[in-house]
Amino acid sequence: MLYNNKSENSHPIHQNDCHDDCQNIAHNHDHDSHHSHENHQAIDCCENQNSCKTQANEYDEPTDDPERQGEHIKLTWTIQGMDCAHCAQKIENGVKTLPNVSQTKIIFSTEKLIVFVPQKNEQIVKLIEDKVTELGYTPIFESSPEQSVQHQHSSILNKKELIPLALLGTLIVVSYILLLVNHQVGQYAFIITAIIGLLPILKEAIVLTRSGTPFAIESLMSISAIGALFIGAAEEATMVIFLFMIGEMLEGVASNKAKKGISSLVQLMPEETIIIIDGKRKTVASHTLKPNDIIEISSGGRLPADVILISEQANIDESALTGESIPVNYLCGDKILAGSLVVDNTVQLKVISETGQNAVDRILQLIEDAEDRKASIERFIDKFSRYYTPSIALFAFLVIFIPPLMMGADWYTWIYRGLTLLLIGCPCALVISTPAVITSALSCAAKQGVLIKGGAALEHIGSIKTIAFDKTGTLTQGKPQITDIIDGDKSTNDLLAIAAAIESGSHHPLAKAIVEYTQQLQIQFKEADNRKAIAGVGIQGQIGQELIYIVSPNKITTVSNAITDQNKQIINQLENAGKTVVAVVTSDKLLGIIALQDVLRNDAISAINELQQLGLKTLMLTGDNQRAAKAIAGQLNMDYLAELLPADKLTEIEKIGQDSAIAMVGDGINDSPAMKAATVGIAMGSGSDVALETADAALTKNSLLSLPKLIRLTRFANKNIKQNITIALGIKLIFLVTSLLGYTGLWLAVLADSGTTAIVTANALRVLRFKK
């Protein structure tokens, strides 16, 4: 079937120059398209017998940094064990302090460490790898682009990581039992348990301090636990360490799952391809293809490179790259992007892209660049520890020594007050309360059909002002359905039976929609005889003694004289509504008209209305044509931009993001760069693995109605976090003054610290019970 014939609106292609021996190899209808296709270049068709020569320009490639080119060498590693963005920052801080390192760049989503050095030698490579290993990660050097393609992410959850957590949990239970039996023995047991849990954290804190990150969250946890042990709160120290380890493990699980989805981009690329050399077919590795190689792709195969079509015409499913819901018909000489799917029959093509520079590679690069442009959000506790903990520790030190030394005050009194201040400086309430809110919100969101990947995503979702949506598969159901049947010379049932008989066996989405709809109505039909695709026109089949055609309306006159002005008016009305129309005709009769459309999700209108009531602006970004986009946007009462490639979506998101926080909701690989560039990316549960795992949140129930629930929940959670921070810091400020003046003793400071922790934790649990 030929739909959305791009050649009609592309640069001129001299189809008449094709030789007569171009083979009719696809089953298609032709359909007028209103796309703009600057990326399809002007091409003369078919040089010699079955080939096409490029007449115009290639893709514009990004230029390299002139200061970097020729002066610095780029070295790339894949880093295993990098569980969070905080880990990435540790590696970057550690490596950039090394000699002969000009610039470092860490890309968490693809687990890449990129280092620019003046010259490449084994000594520099080993120095960098030793530093990464010292920090607790495994570097794998990538000597070629092909090696990075073969990279596989580690498992989502390493069971060995559960052993320390299970051991510490067991020791806590044992310590508590001993505490009930013998208080003193129980206290010693908690002290030993805290020390066992603290040692690996303290060791990492020391390594990070030596590497240029003195006040990382590990340092904060070490100070907090040691401070709690120092004033005798061993139970609190133990629980803080235990909760910290749980939080780190859960964050690692979510992050590993997110990173794993990025690698599925390369799955669009076949590992092997059939190449034609001197008329002989040979299977080669896809990454060895070079420009001007002639390749052959069978039905259902994906393109391993950007190519030019040599065969007469082909049906191509571009949904993974452009969001176009209906396969596009390409003619001889058209350029087609890598990763696209051949719908019908075998085609021959000419490679035009270099290794590592095809469409899929560029999308992957867009994802990496979008992450690089997106400001990294450091966890609040880590930021706060840079100033709060060392400041309080210094202040406590001064309180202990200055009064006795300079004013002759009593040492015991000021040591006691200094230790009390040190306890005030222990940010246990902050360490526990904020993760408690996040954990509660994540749990509540999961019950409502939403997966939120971390605290940073939760915070950003609650602050967004605009939500941008992909169309196909997000606002719509993602597959065409019959919407209108106009009877002609046949009844509705007879018309469907005839159309299904001719379309039977086709893999084209429109053909499958007609066949499935006919089967749902339990209309009997038998596959037509002598079915044959008519290049650039449609398909024909014989039922009895009658030859019947299924064609696009603008091609009816090539096979029939049955069209009337009234029929044309009906067709125009349907097409103006964004529907795809096919006509079933004989040489002299119009049997009927069938209209299909990718229809809205059942919950789309309700969800968009609720979001607008929450004060959010909604926008649709789609690679589909203007007519289809306008029809969908009109039903939803929202703004839209159509005919966008992935790079165009990225540009629009960045433009809007300069003025306000924006979320991008999508389901396809083509949405991934925009989702990464947005303040927050949200994926539909039925979407591609890349969209699901690249996103900061995913609608696991695949319902748009989960979105307004998500917005309400995250806004409430953000409010709760601010309340907890105010409570924790406010109480500490009060006791800081009273302790300094001597009104608060050590025991009351302990009670205040524990009480604050209890208050903020109880407040966090309100999020768990949040409904609306």
Residue 415 CB partners (closer than 8 Å, separation 6+)? 400
pLDDT per residue over 609-640, tens digit each?
999 999 999 999 987 778 878 888 888 999 99
Are 91 and 132 a contacting pair, CB within 8 Å? Answer: yes
pLDDT for residue 712 is more than 90: yes
- Residue-level pLDDT at 325: 58
* Among the listed residues 472, 588, 587, 481, the one whose alpha carbon sits nearest the alpha carbon of residue 540: 587
pLDDT per residue over 273-331, tens digit each?
999 998 899 999 888 899 999 999 988 888 998 899 999 888 888 766 554 557 888 88
Name the token pair of 595.
Answer: 């209209």
Q: So which residues are the catalytic ones? A: 470
Q: Is 442 helix (H, G, I), strand (E, B) or coil?
A: helix
Q: How far apart are CA 255 and CA 262, in angstroms?
A: 11
Q: How far apart are CA 88 and CA 173, in angstroms?
A: 34
pLDDT for residue 212 is more than 80: no
Which is more confident, 364 or 541?
Answer: 541
Rounded to an integer, the average pLDDT of 686-710 is 73
DSSP letter string, 108-139: TTTTEEEEEESS--HHHHHHHHHHHHHTT-EE
Place of tokens 């049997």: 591
Of the pLDDT bands very low, low, confident and very high (cuts 50, 70, 90), residue 192 is: very high
* Among the listed residues 318, 368, 241, 216, the one whose alpha carbon sits nearest the alpha carbon of residue 676: 368
- Residue-level pLDDT at 61: 34
- The beta strands (E) that lie in 6-99 are given as 43-47, 51-54, 73-80
User: To the nearest whole number, what is the mean pLDDT of the chain?
Assistant: 75
